Amino acid sequence: MATRIDGKAISQMVKDELRERVKKEKIEATLAVIQVGSDPASTVYVGNKKKACEYIGIRSLAFELPEETKEEELLDLVRELNDREDVDGILVQLPLPAHMDEDKVIQTISPKKDVDGFHPQSVGALSIGQPGFVSCTPAGVIQLLKRSGVEIEGKECVIVGRSNIVGKPMALLMLRENATVTVCHSRTKDLKEVTRRADILIVAIGKPGFITKEYVKEGAVVIDVGIHRGVDNKLCGDVNFEEVEPVASAITPVPGGVGPMTIAMLMNNCVEAKGIQ
Ligand code: GUN
């Protein structure tokens, strides 16, 4: 039976370390959070980010813009925040309304304040091993593995999913940790054959319960990045937890696995941002 990797406890540890550091080094960081419209899930995420800022001692500024805001108005606000010396990090909550071009908005954020790590310059820096902000969810997965004592170097790591926010940066980070990395996706042939090679299997495909025991090698470490609300209103991941837990050596639950790490790593990026300005 697998060990459960406790993302809640590990994220609390990361936040406590940051809180100590902010206090000891008297770091005064400010995060600006922009939300356009009132998507209920986004409102919950933004609320959690504000709470985490408060806990750590980061000032947060909230900008709530109506759904019908013009793209140019949002871009003007981002440019204004880029120029403000009292703002260290800028986060535009996604998804944006359909009439806005997300790529354009992300590219307008100064790479120095890009605490989400979504700017092409941040992604490019990661790909060539230069310093820059790293996307929070994949950075959180690395922390989960390291703080659970999972050795990464030399291991076969298979990532299912190739999104810009998770799959691709995840592959780059695992490479940086000296894993042998394979990235799979919806067009991969014989997906089960490939995933069964994994010592560390990281799943971010956005399909509830997709990974069953046939996809997993005995003793593999399984990291589930997915989060869905099931028909029974319960949260579940991309991995069929009940089936895979007996096969794996360690596994992240949903909720309480990768999810809480994303905010902890965002807080880490905000503290780091202060040192960059
Ligand atoms: N929407 C869902 N997750 C995220 C995230 O990590 N950052 C931003 N900006 N928007 C999101």
pLDDT digits (tens, 9 = 90+) for 98-144: 999 999 999 999 999 999 999 999 999 999 999 999 999 999 999 99
Q: Quick check: 277 pLDDT over 80?
A: no
* 3-state secondary structure at position 191: helix
Residue nearest to atom 11 of ligand 1 (CA): 94
pTM of the complete model: 0.97
pLDDT at 67 over 80: yes
From 11, 35, 45, mutation site for ligand 1 pocket: most ligand atoms within 8 A of C-beta: 45
Ligand 1 center–CA 37 separation, angstroms: 14
Distance between CA 98 and CA 43 in Å, rounded?
Answer: 17
CB proximity list for 97: less than 8 A, separation 6 or greater: 36, 37, 67, 68, 69
Which atom of ligand 1 sits closest to the CA of residue 95?
1
Compute the distance from residue 94 Cα to the ligand 1 centre, in Å.
5
Per-residue pLDDT for 239 more than 80?
yes
C-alpha 116 – ligand 1 centre gap (Å): 7
pLDDT at 231: 86
Most ligand 1 atoms within 8 A of CB, residue of 31, 94, 106, 267 to mutate: 94
Q: Whose CA is nearest to atom 3 of ligand 1?
A: 94
Where does the pLDDT of residue 276 fall: very low under 50, low under 70, confident under 90, or very high at 90 and above?
A: confident
Identity at 269, one-letter amino acid code: N
For residue 199, the tally of other CB atoms under 10 A from its CB is: 19
Strand pairing partners for 211?
239
User: What whole-number distance in Å separates Cα of residue 215 and Cα of residue 93?
Assistant: 34
Ligand 1 pocket mutation pick from 34, 63, 165 by most atoms within 8 angstroms of CB: 165
Is residue 270 scored above 80 in pLDDT?
yes
Phi-psi region of 235 (alpha: psi -120 to 50; beta: other; left: phi over 0): beta
pLDDT digits (tens, 9 = 90+) for 147-158: 999 999 999 999
Q: Which atom of ligand 1 is nearest to the CA of 136?
A: 6
Query: What would the mean pLDDT of 229-245 be, rounded to a whole number?
Result: 95
First-to-final CA distance of the chain: 47
Neighbours of 169 (CB within 10 A): 24
What whole-number distance in Å separates Cα of residue 268 and Cα of residue 257?
18
Question: What is d(CA 273, CA 277) in angstroms, rounded to the nearest whole number?
Answer: 7
Q: Are 135 and 119 in contact (CB under 8 A)?
A: no
> Residue for token digits 């969810």?
137
Question: Rg for the chain (alpha carbons), in Å?
Answer: 19
pLDDT at position 191 is 98
Distance 95 CA to ligand 1 centre (A): 7
